[in-house]
Structure 1
């Protein structure tokens, strides 16, 4: 049985190196699989046998150092500040020496500047060659710069190393900034809970607190576990979970989630879930796993990079030695070949493409849209049909009184008041809606429930019955119920007094969401288990393209299977009965971070706001991400191809080659990180 472990790492600054470490660690017998998440500085290991864990970790750390010097397991979660400062100071020192060498035209000065700027690159190249690791950026930089020294191009050789190191430094800063945007979420995990025990407040780890315990949450503190407010009232900052900037007001009886911040008063909260099962923990798990599911574009670039570099090296060899056989001037053609080597490193693509998807996932998490992987961001851009569940997805699941029909001798308000006095004894959603409509009432002293039918109250000589049309028929009355919504009938003694019509209310932003989707050319469908008349009326109100009602869960799945034959289908649902449909669609979106566990597990995207407009935002996020990724691909390949061509004809120098390598990488990374700043 495999055991899974996540370990923070530091010092891995190259995506190629991360891939090499993955391959070497996975080859070990004790390891089932290994993934180095470059974007969050973590190694995820699944052990086949962890009996020699400490010994294996030491061996794995040695492998990491061999592939990339300075790489290690980091208990401080990859701070890397010290190494970052050393790199910067070394670059500044080398730049100063280079300036002096240029001023004095000193070969020794160039050699010293070159050594200071590139000693680690040369060491890494030699070490990799010894271990038969060819065609990485260290090897390419070393061959190119030594070749430049060999043909007396001293300034350009040093400049290549200087700009390479500058690029590594700036690239590292960009990657760390991206990591922090996600790790701010991963580090939100509460570390303590103040528990009420025998009237005393005792601090415990959330993992030690059981369901049903009472927690004290003071002003300014993080809610450590999901629960229900027992006493107190306050405003909660929910931005960390949902991206919503407006504080949420809570009082006794309302739910609160781990990760929310108490802004005002003192709350007593009764826990309803274990710490490991909290909504915050689900979010953290989703974001941690997201980078393991790579998009097709990302996989394509990774495969291409393995072929691209060796091909360019072969071309460089041909350029260096074949043309001189016909036209002479070996030194000039070697110089042109060195230009090929400098720009052949695929760093701009290997780093910026995953960073683009990482940026999309990070930007989504800030908006309360949790995407489980880059592949789902891509799929969202291809969707042409969106299928919605009704209750809890397009509607609130809460009923409102829409109409009251009465007989002569009683007003609508009197009928509602009478029904509310009976319904006060029930927790049914219809009963709650009627009581909420009336306000404060006093319940009858004697109320009994007729399971499956309704309620019966006895008031002196009067008998009041409140329930469905079926209940009325059971009592001997023939009732024609032609209402579209759900009806609650009221009968006093032997007389029918009237009915109260209720409807599930449409979410406030549902119409806006449907209009936006249809404006984008996306077909909208609703599959509901509710009565056909109710589903049709909701569909007409929202302007949906197709509506089907009275469907069982398996019938929803069958309908989606038929659609996916010819269409790219997204399904949006919220409950346990939607889990199969969410899994069967091309991409599944689940409403609400506190929805059914099975639905959240089956879905590919979790919409924490519980808002239909977030479906539109998720699609827009996918399109933004894909646009930026392809901008990087075309820009990197286009620039490199142009400089390769110019270098072949002797127009481009090594300075342009440095820009085509380091400059393009930096610009592509900067473009990828734009997504992380798109938080509104």
Structure 2
């Protein structure tokens, strides 16, 4: 046994997966540079890059190359790499670096050159302060025979300086560096919840035979471990001895604690609520359910769609083509034709506007306003790409527990069955005894009593015992009270056992006994959220199919389905996290773009795999919130149909502008930029999320409403002022007039 453990330890030490935060990673055009840096290194076996979270995952031989050596190689390219420790999230500075601040201050001073001409030299100082990271990354890219956006920017800045447009050069540097900082600040949240996922299972386990605590990595298969009440199960296994109830909500989505006895399976990361159990391990720690879930999230985030693969294959040709195209624009300048200055500056404009990161920086103002307006209405949408994808959604899959339902017990029925004990007294006895328990059912019963202005008094309970899988016992006011499922009747020595099931149609039933006599009964259920049924109806009006994917029982799923007025079209119950991922894949293949709405850690893999992942902001786990693309801050599902309307309007505006291309050069045409910004802001706030005209609603009086939820009259009205946007030919003509007049 010892040799096997040593062999496994040596193998683990040899093949290591390391995580690196790359704050200097800008976009996918820099992925080839990272691969060219790392793949030639001895010991590096595989390199994966996750762009949204600025994360690089490297599988390497730790005996040949260490984590710090890999980070050092990346930092030589000024990628600001740092090793991420297990279970920790990366950190980002709250404020921009001193270099960015200095660049901004110097540029601001240079803008007063009209009053004092020598101030223009402050713009040169701003360029020198902010250009260093761009220049160093460009040098590394050239050495690796790679052309990326840093080279485009460096050429554009150099050209602007050579042309003595110092302020324009400083603007390029400042806006690019600020955009990089904002991106790194936003992406730092993309992995903040991963630490909770990776550390959900404890790092130590207690051996049942000796009581010794050991690292979970040293525990072999078929080892007996002990798990006490209130402890988290460290490794997947099967119960050998004992009886308990386990809270599996974080892993499977099961809304109620699950009774565990001999031969029951238990999972790492789930909570043993009460009772002592001995567990025989069935897997190694690195193959536990939590570890598999972590890998599923990583694979889903790093997997590339067909469009992404096409873009990646074109990236290596894109930058050279842009450089050649800008060179063509320089031909009239070199031939010294009339108005050479205009041709030279047009080449610089092409370099900046064609730069992928410049496009990210100068994202259409309509998108920016749409995101802000959505946020003000309780929707956090993580980027303009999400808005684009949201318009294409054809199916929305919902988790049940904590998403469609509140994820909490609610007392739906409570009655006294004895003429000698009134309801007030019964509630007082039950709530006082239950207040000494940490069971989720206990909280619901205590809250129910308080709704009747009955305050429980746990100090009046003389004796208190827990019977795992059955219920509890307490002595209060000299009376022996048993509370639990129908098995507690045998504990109370009752001659009559309730003939009702413990659960029926998704409702859990409980019973109260005074000695041997049944004196009360109650029912608990997980009720649907306010507005859930309305949200389902709204989605149907938008032509979107709905599905329910839950780890809960079939009865619980059908009970929720009934509360939703049978609006869900596809229902799958008793699912594990990997089952949800497979079903999401199937829905995407069969129906098209699929959104997943969830709140738990167990939903994270499906949220990452879906076309759009939507999490519940208030009740959702950290990893679900950070893995998702959209967060519902108020947990109101009715916000999602509104987000769909916002996305559809936003995409139509973008398409119309692409059909009639507009020009938004932020560095050379400031006056025109203002006009466009005002126009776009009006479109976005009024036509996208502000008025929500034509959004799906019960009012639908027009027969011209289409699947997108908008009538033609709305589409025309949404972009009515768009003709005010200055088009490319008009801008160039106007720009030439200004330059000629200035000359």
Q: TM-score, normalised by structure 2?
A: 0.50
Segments of 5+ residues of structure 1 without an aligned counterpart are 65-70, 102-108, 146-155, 189-286, 644-655
Aligned to 1:137: 152
Aligned to 2:240: none
Counterparts of 2:321 and 2:32, CA distance in 1? 19
Within 5 A, what are the aligned runs for 1:499-578? Answer: 499-508=521-530, 510=532, 513-514=535-536, 517-518=539-540, 520-528=542-550, 535-543=557-565, 545-546=567-568, 551-553=573-575, 557=580, 563-564=587-588, 565-575=590-600
1:81 aligns with 2:98: yes
Aligned to 2:469: 452
Aligned to 1:399: 409
Secondary structure, counterpart of 1:500 in structure 2: strand
Aligned to 1:331: 337
**Contact 2:322–2:354 (CA<8 Å) still a contact in 1?**
no
Counterparts of 2:49 and 2:555, CA distance in 1? 53
Counterparts of 1:115 and 1:477, CA distance in 2? 87
Aligned to 1:429: 440
**Contact 1:381–1:619 (CA<8 Å) still a contact in 2?**
no
Secondary structure, counterpart of 1:409 in structure 2: coil
Aligned to 1:244: none
Task: Give 1:432 deviation, angstroms.
Answer: 3.6
Aligned to 2:727: none
Picking from 37, 54, 64, the partner of 1:25 is 37
Does 1 or 2 have the higher relative contact order (CA < 8 Å, sep 6+)? 1
Counterparts of 1:292 and 1:662, CA distance in 2? 41
Task: Give 1:38 deviation, angstroms.
Answer: 9.9
Within 5 A, what are the aligned runs for 1:313-352? Answer: 331-332=337-338, 338=344, 341-347=347-353, 349-352=355-358
**Contact 1:516–1:616 (CA<8 Å) still a contact in 2?**
no
1:416 aligns with 2:437: no
**CA 1:539 to 1:657, structure 2 compared with 1: closer, same or farther past 3 Å?**
closer
Aligned to 1:167: 172
Counterparts of 1:95 and 1:16, CA distance in 2? 38
Q: For each residue in 1:209-238, what CA deviation from the matched residue of structure 2 results, as whole angstroms up to 9, or x when unmatched?
A: xxxxxxxxxxxxxxxxxxxxxxxxxxxxxx
Counterparts of 1:491 and 1:345, CA distance in 2? 80
**CA 1:374 to 1:578, structure 2 compared with 1: closer, same or farther past 3 Å?**
same
Larger radius of gyration: 1
Q: TM-score, normalised by structure 1?
A: 0.54
Aligned to 1:467: 484
Secondary structure, counterpart of 1:392 in structure 2: helix
1:620 aligns with 2:643: yes
**Contact 1:583–1:603 (CA<8 Å) still a contact in 2?**
yes
**Contact 2:380–2:631 (CA<8 Å) still a contact in 1?**
yes
Secondary structure, counterpart of 1:430 in structure 2: helix
Task: Give 1:137 deviation, angstroms.
Answer: 3.2
Counterparts of 2:430 and 2:383, CA distance in 1? 51
Task: Give 1:383 deviation, angstroms.
Answer: 2.8
Q: For each residue in 1:341-371, what CA deviation from the matched residue of structure 2 results, as whole angstroms up to 9, or x when unmatched?
A: 3343154551144455998999999999888
Task: Give 1:524 deviation, angstroms.
Answer: 3.5
Secondary structure, counterpart of 1:524 in structure 2: strand
**Contact 1:387–1:524 (CA<8 Å) still a contact in 2?**
yes
Aligned to 1:158: 163
Q: For each residue in 1:526-550, what CA deviation from the matched residue of structure 2 results, as whole angstroms up to 9, or x when unmatched?
A: 3456666654454344445127889
Counterparts of 2:109 and 2:298, CA distance in 1? 37
**CA 1:563 to 1:82, structure 2 compared with 1: closer, same or farther past 3 Å?**
closer
Number of equivalenced pairs: 537
Aligned to 2:496: 476
Counterparts of 2:479 and 2:16, CA distance in 1? 69
Q: For each residue in 1:264-284, what CA deviation from the matched residue of structure 2 results, as whole angstroms up to 9, or x when unmatched?
A: xxxxxxxxxxxxxxxxxxxxx
Counterparts of 2:155 and 2:192, CA distance in 1? 38
Within 5 A, what are the aligned runs for 1:167-186? Answer: 167-173=172-178, 175-176=180-181
**Contact 1:404–1:499 (CA<8 Å) still a contact in 2?**
yes
